[in-house]
Amino acid sequence: MIGLTFDTGALIGLERRRQRIARVYRTAVEDGLPVTVPAVVISEWWRGRTDVRETILRGVRVEPLDDRIAKLAGEALVTCSGCGAVDSIVMASAARRGDIVYTADVADLLLLQAFFPTVRVLSV
């Protein structure tokens, strides 16, 4: 079953109650699709505890960074000049499960798609 992977922009969109990503999230939950957030994304997004952030975290699966994903992300960085480690980890995480990635930085993640050709990247 294909699931969804959210990056920082998707979490910010949920937090700000942006209609598009809220609809994507709601539909995923209704359809029983897993929504995963790599743990490193939390560090980019978290700016202190709020009720909204806690609610969002309860509604997603936070994936710890293991050595397999870290190594794969590092290998991708070699092929992508100017790409960031967090974006590479998001793509490696999604590739491992065959997920679709939702992001506010489509252009950045599309640069990594050459290394992760099976990952679809969609805008929040």
pLDDT of residue 61: 98
What is the structure's pLDDT at 43? 96
4-123 topology per CATH: Rossmann fold (3.40.50)
pLDDT of residue 101: 98
Lookup: tokens for 45 = 């997004």
Regions in the chain scoring below 70 on pLDDT: none
- Give me the pLDDT at residue 121, please: 98
113 to 25, 31, 35, 91: CA distances (angstroms): 23, 26, 20, 8
pLDDT tens, residue by residue, 55-76: 999 999 999 999 999 999 999 9
pLDDT at 63: 98
CA distance 93 to 69: 6
In 3-state terms the chain splits into helix, strand, coil percentages (rounded to 5) of 55, 15, 30
Distance CA 98, CA 86 (A): 18
51/9 Cα distance (integer angstroms): 19
